[in-house]
Amino acid sequence: LLLLCYTEEEAVIVTDLKNTDVFVGESATFTCEVSQPGVKNVQWWLDGSPLHNNFVTEISEQDGTVHTLTLKDVACHDSGTVTFRAGSLISSAKLLVKGIFLLA
């Protein structure tokens, strides 16, 4: 009797999130790429609060490996730390929303 032991290779982060600066009213996009599809429990956070798909937050996945978060029409209070989590994988980056100052 021959038993084959197959261990699933752990996924790793291929491309980390990058710090992003945008102006008020613009969109901010964060992308994280993992080494293989099928990572479980994918979650996005902004300053410790979980994010969900809605009219200002767009969460998408391409080929099971490229995970993208787009925050639309950002305001100054959206500045903070964006975190991507998938199982034990974690990547974080800073979002800085800059105000527009009009000089008279």
Q: Please say whether the beta carbons of 25 and 73 come within 8 A.
A: yes
Checking if the pLDDT of 74 tops 50, the result is yes
- Per residue in 17-58, pLDDT (tens digit) is 999 999 999 999 999 999 999 888 999 999 999 999 999 999
Q: C-alpha 32: how far from its chain's center?
A: 6
What mean pLDDT is reported for the chain?
90
Q: The whole model's pTM is what?
A: 0.87
Average pLDDT over residues 74-96: 96
Reported in sequence order, the residue ranges of the chain that DSSP labels E, i.e. its strands, are 13-15, 20-23, 28-34, 42-46, 49-51, 57-62, 66-71, 80-86, 89-98
Q: Please say whether the beta carbons of 91 and 32 come within 8 A.
A: yes
Average pLDDT over residues 86-99: 95
The one-letter code for the residue type at 1 is L
| Domain spanning 13-98, CATH class | mainly beta
